[in-house]
Amino acid sequence: MKSNGTKRRQRIATIVVAIVVIAMVITTVAPMMM
């Protein structure tokens, strides 16, 4: 097990991935809504 630093970085990476996925969903759904 490593120190807390790795856990925080992993959490940040997860948040970034979630933001990217949400952005992709918005860009694909927005034209349909228009």
Q: What pLDDT score does 24 carry?
A: 96
Single-letter amino acid code for the residue at 20: V
pLDDT digits (tens, 9 = 90+) for 1-34: 567 778 889 999 999 999 999 999 999 998 887 7
pLDDT at 2: 67
* Tally of domains in the chain: 1
- DSSP string covering 1-34, please? ---HHHHHHHHHHHHHHHHHHHHHHHHHHHHHH-
* Amino acid identity at 33: M
Full-prediction pTM beyond 0.85? Answer: no
Where in the sequence is the domain holding 19, given as residue range(s)?
A: 1-34
Q: State the pLDDT at residue 1.
A: 56
